[in-house]
Structure 1
Amino acid sequence: MGEPKIFFMFLAMVFLKGAVSKVHTVGDELQWNTGANFGSWSQKYNFSVGDTLVFKYVKGQHNVYEVIEATYRSCNGSTGVLATYESGNDQIELDQARKYWFICNVGGHCLGGMRFFIDVKES
């Protein structure tokens, strides 16, 4: 008699874990673009493991580099790059509790403000 109850509790936990994950469009309605303030945008939300970041932009005009902190600070994407995205509709799952650093590596965009970092917490 206890087995069905445990099974349903397990299903509820699996469902709730998926239900709390959020999808965040970077920059909200401004998207990943030179006109947005990504520092302010990233402070509006709490990011958790399992959430997804969506970077929407015109392919070829921007890109997304996940980088280490030193690369984020220097805006020099020639070193310290963990991953690159260039599709114009990049979806990045936040799969670890840690800091994530992102820049646009198109000439001058990072120094112009197309960068941000987030601190992802356990859900």
Structure 2
Amino acid sequence: MNKMSFIGGVMTILMVLQCTEAVTVHVVGDGLGWTVPEDISAYQTWASINNFALGDILSFNFETNRHDVAEVPKGSYESCTSNNTIGTIITTGPTNITLNRSGEHFYICTIGQHCINGQKLAINVSATPSTGALPPSTGALPPSTTTTPPPPFSAASGSALASVVLLLFSLFLGVAF
């Protein structure tokens, strides 16, 4: 009986560990931080080598009152205007933003000419960690809508369901034996 209880306990621990999903903290621009870059495409390049998934965190490192962060629709991103911000403009740095919806996300600095000089970020957030950033903007495109459909059933949620079933089975074995 002790051997089966031990096995059930180990299986329970393994299932709990499997249910926890890894969250990635992305420091925007890495060592550059959130500032006006020397290379106008610096944030596009940075975004292109990162994958963004639901639950991940964007960490914007900037000095309060010198920069800010605003999430904006695609049209505002492309024209570098702070019209129609999504949520409030964050003026206190550093700050973290949790990616809580899939799809395109656009961020700009609204201070002075910072956005026009390259302090803007476009990413694509996937329901699973399989896609990267948006390609660089090549011209005026129609603005995207801000409504996002709910994410489809994913392999990650199926894996979580399988883990719960296995957890219940291991508990049954622990009680039965």
Compute the TM-score of the two structures, normalised by the length of structure 2. 0.61
* CA–CA distance in structure 1, aligned partners of residues 11 and 78 of structure 2: 49
Q: Percent same amino acid at aligned positions?
A: 28
1:61 and 2:66 matched: yes
* CA–CA distance in structure 1, aligned partners of residues 123 and 31 of structure 2: 19
Instruction: Provide the residue aligned with 2:84 in structure 1.
Output: 80
- How far is 1:98 from its partner? 1.1
**Bigger Rg over Cα:** 2
Unmatched tracts of structure 2, length 5 or more: 129-177
Count of paired positions? 119
- How far is 1:22 from its partner? 0.5
Unmatched tracts of structure 1, length 5 or more: none
1:109 and 2:114 matched: yes
Instruction: Provide the residue aligned with 1:33 in structure 2.
Output: 35
Q: Which structure is higher in strand share?
A: 1
1:100 pairs, out of 99, 102, 105, with: 105
- How far is 1:56 from its partner? 0.6
* CA–CA distance in structure 2, aligned partners of residues 10 and 81 of structure 1: 41
- How far is 1:5 from its partner? 7.7
- How far is 1:49 from its partner? 0.7
Instruction: Provide the residue aligned with 1:52 in structure 2.
Output: 57
**Mean CA deviation greater in 31-40 or 43-52:** 31-40
1:14 and 2:19 matched: yes
Instruction: Provide the residue aligned with 2:96 in structure 1.
Output: 91
For the residue of structure 2 that corresponds to 1:120, the secondary structure is strand
Q: Confirm or deny: 8 A CA contact 2:37 2:117 kept in the other structure.
A: no
- How far is 1:9 from its partner? 5.3
Instruction: Provide the residue aligned with 1:24 in structure 2.
Output: 26
**Mean CA deviation greater in 82-91 or 105-114:** 82-91
After superposing on structure 2, the runs of 4+ consecutive aligned residues of structure 1 that deviate more than 2 Å are 3-10, 12-15
Residues 40-76 of structure 1: per-residue CA shift (max 9 Å, x gap): 1111101111110000111101000001111101111
1:29 maps to a residue whose letter is: G
Q: Confirm or deny: 8 A CA contact 1:75 1:103 kept in the other structure.
A: yes
